């Protein structure tokens, strides 16, 4: 049930993310004016703004001018719904365990942590798409994310009395930021400042889970980025030095680290005989 509710909520967030992805790179407000058809300028009716369903009912066309509406809009809504549902299922054991303790502060802390991960899921979708479209990771999204994500985790740490986890998260965030900054300074152009800023945010989240998540999440981003680059070069969809967006790979690696980092790291240690 929680997965269904999270999925419905995620689809609504996905509809809003379509606005974010379209307007933020253009420097426009994400709250005004209301959404309208890019072709004829007609305001989109509330009944035509139901995630996924409206696109199917309208057969992918504007009600007023019949101009085609990109399939990316419902795809983003559906993907965000699935992402939110997945986060809810992943976090459910922690939420149940916290509730079983009968402690209101610990339960509230677990809910705030879940909210922080849902927030990260939402901006991950937006940042990945914007980076693919424009080769940029806008400060308008990344910098406020430090405040929102960091704020939720800080409050969760205060409520649960888990100061060490918070310190580890802050240390990991600072470490990831500095690591990427060094890479950007050593080889200008290979790493953008947007990547550096995003690294600090992802390091914060990964550090909250543990150092194994940090290692797997950061390293995983480079592995995924390398595989993507090889595939694009092989398919002649990119060229050496062509500036392949790295943000999506960083985000994918981070999520692998968050969800499966400890298990992957322990498996690696066992494989090499160190566990």
Burial 59-94 (b: 16+ CB within 10 A, else e): eeebbbeeeebeeebbebbbbbbbbbbbbbeebeee
| Sign of the dihedral through C-alpha 160, 84, 199, 136 | negative
Instruction: Give the Cα separation of 207 and 215 in Å (integer).
Output: 9
CB 109 within 8 A of CB 35: no
Helices (H), ranges, 101-235: 104-134, 139-160, 163-186, 193-209, 211-234
At 49 the pLDDT is: 87
* 239: confidence class by pLDDT, cuts 50, 70, 90: low
pLDDT band at 152 (very low <50, low <70, confident <90, very high): very high
Which pLDDT value is given to residue 237?
72
Residue 102: which pLDDT band, with cuts at 50, 70 and 90?
confident
Would you say 44 and 36 are in contact if contact means Cβ atoms under 8 Å apart?
Answer: yes
Strand partners, 36: 43
Q: State mean pLDDT over 90-111.
A: 91
Query: How far from the centroid of its chain's Cα atoms is residue 11's Cα?
Result: 15
Q: What is the pLDDT of residue 39?
A: 77
pLDDT in tens, 6-16: 999 999 999 99
Q: What pLDDT shows up at residue 275?
A: 66
> Is the overall model pTM greater than 0.75, yes or no?
yes
Token pair 């550090």 in the structure block, residue = 207
> Is 109 buried (19+), middle (13-18) or exposed (0-12) by CB count in 10 A?
buried
81 within 8 A of 8, measured Cβ to Cβ: yes
pLDDT tier for residue 190 given thresholds of 50, 70 and 90: confident
């Amino acid at each position: 049930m929680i997965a269904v509710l999270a999925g419905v909520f995620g689809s609504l967030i996905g509809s809003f993310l379509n606005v974010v992805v379209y307007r933020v790179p253009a420097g426009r407000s994400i709250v005004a004016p209301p959404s309208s058809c890019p072709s004829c300028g007609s305001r989109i009716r509330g009944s035509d703004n139901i995630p996924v369903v409206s696109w199917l009912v309208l057969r992918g066309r504007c009600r007023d001018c019949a101009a085609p509406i990109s399939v990316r809009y419902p795809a983003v809504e559906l993907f965000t719904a699935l992402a939110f549902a997945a986060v809810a299922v992943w976090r459910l054991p922690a939420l149940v365990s916290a509730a079983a303790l009968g402690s209101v502060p610990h339960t509230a802390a677990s809910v705030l942590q879940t909210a922080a991960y849902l927030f990260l899921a939402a901006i991950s979708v937006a940042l990945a798409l914007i980076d693919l479209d424009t080769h940029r990771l806008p400060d308008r999204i990344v910098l406020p994310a430090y405040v929102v994500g960091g704020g939720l985790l800080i409050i969760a740490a205060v409520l649960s009395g888990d100061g060490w986890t918070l310190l580890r998260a802050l240390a990991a965030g600072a470490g990831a930021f500095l690591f990427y900054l060094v890479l950007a300074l050593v080889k200008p152009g290979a790493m953008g400042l947007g990547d550096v800023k995003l690294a600090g945010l992802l390091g914060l989240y990964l550090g909250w889970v543990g150092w194994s998540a940090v290692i797997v999440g950061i390293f995983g981003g480079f592995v995924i980025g390398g595989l993507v680059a090889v595939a694009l070069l092989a398919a002649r969809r990119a060229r050496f030095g062509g500036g392949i967006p790295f943000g999506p790979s960083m985000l994918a690696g981070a999520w692998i680290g968050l969800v499966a980092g400890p298990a992957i790291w322990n498996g690696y240690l066992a494989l090499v005989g160190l566990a």
